[in-house]
């Protein structure tokens, strides 16, 4: 226990100055930069003319176990991407995100077919996404190159905080799956399926969490390698997690889908005044007068318990 206390810090630094006084936190930051080097994330270059590099920020978070004991000091280097402008710094940032309903349907189908279901989290997922644009960032605070203090880093891979990072990761993952003979869902672009003679492999993606299932576990091992696998309980936990999906920017995938069908002429959109919004009966708490009005508009009847009992007896 004493050895454990020496290797993990119980403090959670708020800035780099506080972090630089703690050996455990310094080691955590060095691990991040070593990972960048292994994955060839960036290259140090002289700052180009007329370029204003984006700044970086260290974020620190302690991970706890079920007893709230600190088990790991986690550091992450992120880009202050709020300075990016669409059309200048990047072309496209939209990346589809699976809806919770789609994940629940996938799990229900897996249960119906008696699939073996696994869930995995892709570590540092965004670092796997290659950038199409030239992006320059300042050197991280506390780790300035003494020989080239005025140089900047040119990014080869996406960093957390970049507006195009989710898109880069999605493109990388979907390209890999399509090259391996998977089919992408036409309605849900985060659903990938591969058919075999006697089997089916289903993959549902939620940002950097992947749920995949098959009737034969050996099929899974052909495409995925993982150090630790969480079985159905973990996969179901993701489905039940009350994520505020409606607040994510990527929710626009619903409207992109509708737009495509409007352009094809499959559906037509009309403005409906509040007084005629029949769906309000299913989504809002309404006064009794308004409720009864909508019931009649839907061609339904609102029966009292006595009326219902009398109706049943008459049959």
201-214 as b/e: b if 16+ CB within 10 A = bbbbbbbbbbbbbb
**DSSP H helical ranges for the chain:** 2-7, 16-19, 23-38, 100-112, 165-179, 217-223, 232-240, 253-264, 280-283, 288-297, 305-314
Q: Where are the domains of the chain?
A: 2-263, 270-314
pLDDT of the residue at 226: 46
What is the band of 232 on the pLDDT scale with cuts at 50, 70, 90? very low
pTM recorded for the entire structure: 0.56
Q: Is the pLDDT of residue 141 over 80?
A: yes
Torsions phi, psi for 57 (to 5 deg) = -145, 135
pLDDT of the residue at 245: 43
What is the band of 88 on the pLDDT scale with cuts at 50, 70, 90? low
């Amino acid at each position: 226990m004493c050895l454990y206390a020496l290797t993990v810090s119980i403090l959670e630094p708020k800035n780099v100055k506080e972090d630089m006084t703690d050996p455990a936190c310094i080691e955590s930051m060095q691990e991040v930069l070593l990972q960048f080097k292994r994955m060839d994330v960036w290259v140090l270059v002289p700052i180009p003319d007329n370029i204003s590099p984006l700044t970086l920020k260290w974020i620190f978070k302690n991970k706890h176990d079920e007893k709230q004991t600190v088990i790991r000091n986690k550091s992450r280097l992120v880009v202050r991407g709020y300075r990016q402008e669409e059309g200048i710094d990047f072309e496209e940032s939209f990346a589809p995100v699976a809806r919770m309903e789609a994940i629940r349907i996938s799990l229900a189908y897996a249960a119906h077919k008696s699939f073996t279901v696994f869930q995995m989290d892709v570590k540092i997922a965004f670092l796997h996404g290659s950038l199409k644009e030239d992006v320059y960032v300042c050197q991280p605070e506390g780790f300035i190159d003494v020989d080239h203090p005025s140089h900047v880093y040119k990014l080869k891979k996406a960093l957390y905080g970049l507006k195009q990072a989710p898109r880069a990761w999605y493109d990388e993952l979907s390209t890999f799956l399509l090259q391996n003979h998977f089919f992408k869902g036409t309605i849900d672009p985060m659903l990938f399926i591969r058919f075999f003679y006697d089997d089916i492999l289903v993959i549902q993606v939620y940002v950097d969490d992947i749920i995949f299932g098959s009737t034969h576990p050996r099929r899974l091992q052909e495409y995925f390698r993982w150090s630790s696998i969480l079985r159905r309980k973990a996969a179901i936990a993701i489905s039940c997690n009350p994520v505020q999906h409606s607040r994510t920017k990527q929710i626009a995938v619903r409207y992109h889908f509708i737009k495509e069908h409007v352009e094809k002429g499959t559906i037509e959109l009309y403005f409906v005044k509040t007084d005629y919004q029949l769906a309000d009966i299913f989504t809002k708490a309404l006064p009794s007068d308004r409720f009864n009005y909508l019931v009649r508009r839907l061609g339904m009847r609102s029966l009292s318990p006595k009326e219902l009992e009398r109706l049943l007896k008459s049959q």
